[in-house]
């Protein structure tokens, strides 16, 4: 594996985990995780002609669910830095011109040649130091069309000390230190600082997971 950009992060996956990522999540959660994902993506109310930017898209599993609601004019662009993920994404969508992959670091400021109706990030943003998360939010903000929505599917805000002991020990065993910090923050307040002023949220998996939709509605 290449040297990690953030050695303490848990989201830069090794080649084996990357290759089997979807299957590992499905088996480890006994099917609950894929069901929660499907339900979360349903709440995004994807329109046939939407253009969606998927930050840290992984294997393309989520992009595929989103693409089910698109017609031939809809688009998904997935960004990721993993060669293994790129291979799976491109194989999954071979021949489907609506979905494309770009090798792109999302933790640095970047500028694409177009903007999107929706920007989506799933189980990625928790894995960065907080100052880097702010760069990611800025990247999302700058790639949204007016009235577009930023969707964060990730851990909800909760107190680890109040978790049942079994859940707490699993969370502590599998997650990185950045996730412990992520769950303590007030994400609506953070996003307000970037101009987002309307929020919807949906909870899954005993409320440990949340889809947060943030939109900027002009006054």
Ligand X SMILES: C[S@@+](CC[C@H](N)C(=O)[O-])C[C@H]1O[C@@H](n2cnc3c(N)ncnc32)[C@H](O)[C@@H]1O
Q: Name the residues that contact ligand X, by CB under 6 A.
A: 5, 11-13, 56-58, 61-62, 79-82, 85, 105-107, 122-124
- Closest separation in Å from C-beta 218 to ligand X: 30
Shortest gap between Cβ of 219 and ligand X (angstroms)? 33
Asked if 152 and 185 touch (Cβ cutoff 8 Å), the reply is no
* Alpha-helix residue ranges (DSSP H) falling in 54-145: 61-67, 83-92, 130-142
Minimum CB separation from ligand X for residue 44, in Å?
13
Least distance between ligand X and beta carbon 10 (Å): 8
In degrees to the nearest 10, what's the CA dihedral of 39, 44, 50, 51? -90
* Nearer Cβ to ligand X (80/213): 80
Nearest to 188 by CA among 137, 113, 129: 137
Residue nearest to ligand X (CB): 58
Q: Which two tokens stand for residue 201?
A: 């949220």
Least Cβ distance, residue 217 to ligand X (angstroms): 27
Cβ neighbours for 150, distance < 8 A, ≥ 6 positions apart: 118, 119, 121, 137, 140, 141, 144, 191, 196, 213, 214, 215
């Amino acid at each position: 594996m290449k040297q990690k950009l953030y050695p303490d992060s848990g989201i830069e996956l090794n080649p084996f985990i990357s290759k089997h990522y979807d299957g590992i999540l499905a088996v480890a959660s006994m099917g609950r995780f894929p069901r929660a994902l499907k339900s979360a993506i349903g709440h995004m109310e994807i329109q046939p002609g939407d253009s969606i930017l998927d930050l840290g898209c992984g294997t393309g599993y989520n992009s595929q669910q989103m693409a089910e609601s698109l017609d031939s004019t809809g688009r998904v662009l997935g960004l990721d830095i993993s060669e293994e993920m790129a291979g799976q994404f491109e194989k999954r969508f071979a021949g489907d011109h609506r979905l494309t992959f770009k090798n792109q670091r999302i933790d640095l400021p970047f500028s694409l040649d177009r903007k999107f109706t929706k920007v989506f990030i799933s189980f990625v943003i928790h894995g960065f130091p907080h100052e880097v998360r702010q760069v990611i939010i800025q990247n999302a903000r700058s790639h949204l069309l007016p009235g577009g929505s930023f969707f964060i599917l990730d851990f909800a805000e909760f107190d680890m000390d109040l978790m049942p002991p079994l859940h707490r020990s699993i969370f502590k065993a599998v997650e990185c230190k950045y996730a412990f910090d992520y769950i303590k923050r007030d994400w609506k307040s953070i996003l307000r600082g970037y101009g987002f002023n309307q929020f919807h949220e949906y909870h899954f998996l005993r409320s440990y997971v949340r889809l947060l939709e943030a939109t900027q509605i002009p006054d």
